[in-house]
Amino acid sequence: MGQFITAHQVAIAFWSPIIVGAAVDALPDPTPQSSAFYVWFFKVSHTLLARFRTASQASNQDRRAP
């Protein structure tokens, strides 16, 4: 497994955020019956993903600036 990761670093770096983002986006909204942990996990995961996407967009805009 270590050799695979070492040999495919670029692909893993490219696909990991896409897969994690899709997984977080696929989480169903908490319901009144949801556990406190799920509500916390839902909020934290969406907050982290939003911050990652904001940072990624800002990084891309910085590259385009003259």
d(CA 2, CA 24): 26
Q: For residue 26, what pLDDT is reported?
A: 95
Prediction pTM value: 0.72
Number of domains in the chain: 1
**pLDDT by residue (tens digit) across 3-60?**
888 888 888 888 888 899 999 999 999 999 999 999 999 999 999 998 888 887 776 6
| CA nearest to 27, candidates 40, 16, 14, 10 | 40
Task: Give the residue numbers spanning the domain of 32.
Answer: 2-64
